[in-house]
Amino acid sequence: PQISMTDSKKLTLNLEGSPEEWVEKFRNLRNPRDIATLLDVDYELLVYYLYKIPYENRYRVFQIKKRRSSSSTRTISAPAKSLKIIQHKLAQVLASVYEPKAPVHGFRKGKSILTNAERHVNQKYVLNVDLSNFFPSINFGRVRGMFMAVPYKLDEKVATVLAQICCFNNELPQGAPTSPIVSN
């Protein structure tokens, strides 16, 4: 189908319904059309954004300096606006579906480096680890496998489309709204 610029303006950032409704719809995903319905995106637009837009135009890739080091850089892969909106919606759904374990503090509302550190006050030893290129170390296969595994148990076709929404160049991109929740 022909997609015009006005079609991309139809995408809104907020999902219809309640988090409980999103969870129910997510658990009942059976095919890619269900994904489009869940994310309030016309199916043809979803197909267009995932498969018709040239791969290199889906993201803008650039370097930024890392905070603590003036010499090393971090690669940011920022999704195009339409894809970013779709990812933002999927991140909202996943945040409603995903129930993190108590020790998880990364990328969670109300949690931070400080809330994590509070758990370790008065400990004799504390190990602090910063994983280099953390998001890109998580590949497409792992993301798809996560959606197929417990607790999601989604069909392979559904898991594949969700992973395609989340990944770029076979990895979880630093800069996508879905990367933090998927990495947890």
Residue-wise pLDDT for 8-28, tens only, equals: 445 677 888 999 999 999 999
Decide if 88 is inside a domain: yes
- For the chain, what is the domain count? 1
Decide if 114 is inside a domain: no
The answer to whether the CB of 60 falls within 8 A of the CB of 78 is yes
Which residue range forms the structural domain that includes residue 157? 5-99+126-183
Residue-wise pLDDT for 75-113, tens only, equals: 999 999 999 999 999 999 998 998 766 666 555 566 666
Decide if 45 is inside a domain: yes
pLDDT band at 3 (very low <50, low <70, confident <90, very high): very low
Decide if 121 is inside a domain: no
Q: List b or e across 68-105, with b for residues whose CB sees 16 or more CB atoms inside 10 angstroms.
A: eeeeeebeebbbeebbbbbbbbbbbbbbbbeeeeeeeb
pTM given for the model: 0.84
